[in-house]
Amino acid sequence: MRRLARTLFLASIVMIHGNILFAATYYVDFGSGSDNNSGTSTTSPWQHAPGMQTCANVCKSTTVQAGDSIILKGGVTWPNSSFMWSLPGGSAASPVYIGVDKTWYAGSSWTRPILTAGGVAIGNNYDTMFTVPPYVTVDNFAITGFYWDGTSCSGAPYGDCGIFNAGQRSGQTFENLYIHGWTHAGTDASTSSGVIDIFSFGGNGQNVAHDNVIVGTDVAGDHSVNAFFNGPGTAYNNYIKQVSSGFIVSYGVSFHDNHIEDVGPAYCNEPFPQYAGNCSHENGFEDNGDIGLDFYNNVITNVSAGLAIWIAPNPGYTAYLWNNLIYAVHDNQILDLTAPVYNPTYCSQGASSNNYCKATGSFVLWNNTVQCGDDTTQYDCQAGVGTASGQGSVVTALTMQNNHFIDLTGAAASCATGSGGPTLCVSVTPNTSQTQATANGQGYSSTETYAFSPTSSSGATVGAGTNLTTSATGNLATLASDTTYACTDGNGNQPSCPARAAIGRASAGAWNAGAYQSFAPAPPVNLSNVSQ
């Protein structure tokens, strides 16, 4: 006990310019707090947090230091007048924590603090709800009621007019957030005010988003937000539904166990397809350039506009994709293996006429399950893979093994050669390819609890793959197990992860093709999300 007490004591101390200071914890309760209070206890809380638009008196005169914490009372609502909230930041060694203490709440049990714009534009900084400095963790808020129109967003600089303006700053963590209930003016291309970003980054790559729920289902049919724009670098266990795009990133590092469902079209791009892409790219995951990417255990489904996946490693780097499930893509843009946006730091080969690098890095696709289209219309997404989406660039190297494709022809995957094709096809076998009818006849279907999983030992994917145990090391260790099927939406505002208990792949002998090693087990019981 003495050792634990000493550890907790030391954890409350931070170093500022060589001086030892005690980290402070500040408490905020909009319902019963006062900005004249000390803010240092639950019995003397502020009404507002430092950096909130209406913070005053002692709250306003207090400087939050690196390592400090700001705790908002559970079950309490902060209204539109509190925003924009300019969050305080810390240091790499001592980030600021802005979140909750689940033992402090209003009501009979803990629920998230609610931060709401109330369906009215925020009257400062071009309708921005939060600005985010470096080295801060934002945890466990319900964020709702954001509204925008042509006036509120007019002339907004990059990153403004949206919920989180994170800028090009490192050390930010966004976790356990429930973001929903946004609305806007206009319902078509002529009247809509365009899309906004839930999170707007600067392509830094040194930030993390995990265990967040971002859903637009409060307004039926509206897809007018980008969930994540130009970042973060790492994202996992996020549940995203009914958006214009899930992720548009630059220099991402690791994306896994994310569920992305119901993508596009945005009102400002309608009627579709005439105005597609007019105001926003509509996609599940768009990587505009990376220096090594791991993309695994993700589910992308019901893509109504744009593409499912666009991957673009820089020359000399490799993007790895494994254990992903992609299905119900209502267009022919399923897997785009393409060139990165030109950056002279990474692309000595020069730029194409439309500002893409003239070369790419390498692509490795292992044990993915891909429906090339939907249950009504299929496409041949494997023919000539490696053409870099017609960007006038050349894929350096391509490896495709153990994938399960459900497509128009059911023909084996092929590797493009010649102009626009890869300079090196490391391997494009073995993969299992089936038509929709053949797959359905063997029990593979989109209506299963786990889409296109094998239902019997005679399914074409069973034992059809090669053993990749020697590759399942280091960052690729999760390849030794099959898909977790990302996350479900739990009780509606907290992801339940994993959605499926992963099964280990054999250390010897053949693997299955596709994301599943064996028959799908029942979902695991997850009790951690009760009363969230």
3-state secondary structure 249-264: ECCCCEEECCEEEEEC
Q: Indicate the pTM of the whole model.
A: 0.92
Integer Cα distance of 421 and 384 in angstroms: 8
In this prediction, residue 343 has a pLDDT band, given cuts at 50, 70 and 90, of very high
pLDDT value, residue 412 = 85
Residue 313: exposure state from Cβ atoms within 10 A (0-12, 13-18, ≥19): buried
Which has more confidence, 339 or 171? 171
Q: What single letter denotes the amino acid at residue 309?
A: I
Helix (H) or strand (E) segment spanning residue 156:
none
Integer Cα distance of 286 and 300 in angstroms: 12
Helix (H) or strand (E) segment spanning residue 404:
strand 404-406
pLDDT value, residue 483 = 97
Tens-digit pLDDT profile for residues 382-395: 766 655 443 445 57
- CB atoms under 10 Å from CB of 112, counted, come to 24
pLDDT value, residue 530 = 36
Average pLDDT over every residue of 403-431: 82
Q: What single letter denotes the amino acid at residue 353?
A: S
List all residues 6 or more positions away from 38 whose beta carbon is below 8 Å from its beta carbon.
44, 58
pLDDT value, residue 354 = 86
Strand 213-215, strand 142-144: pairing: unpaired
Residue 213 bridge partners (DSSP) = 178, 239
> At 455, is the secondary structure helix, strand, or coil?
coil
Does residue 273 surpass a pLDDT of 70? no
pLDDT value, residue 274 = 60
pLDDT value, residue 18 = 46
Integer Cα distance of 247 and 357 in angstroms: 21
pLDDT value, residue 390 = 39
Average pLDDT over every residue of 167-188: 91
Strand 283-287, strand 239-243: pairing: unpaired
Tens-digit pLDDT profile for residues 24-61: 999 999 999 999 999 999 999 999 999 999 999 999 99
Q: What single letter denotes the amino acid at residue 404?
A: H
Cis amide prior to 79 (ω within 30 degrees): no
pLDDT value, residue 17 = 44
Does residue 287 surpass a pLDDT of 90? yes
pLDDT value, residue 427 = 87
Tens-digit pLDDT profile for residues 350-368: 998 889 998 889 999 999 9
Q: What single letter denotes the amino acid at residue 131?
A: T
Question: Do 129 and 85 form a contact (C-beta atoms < 8 A)?
Answer: yes
pLDDT value, residue 151 = 87
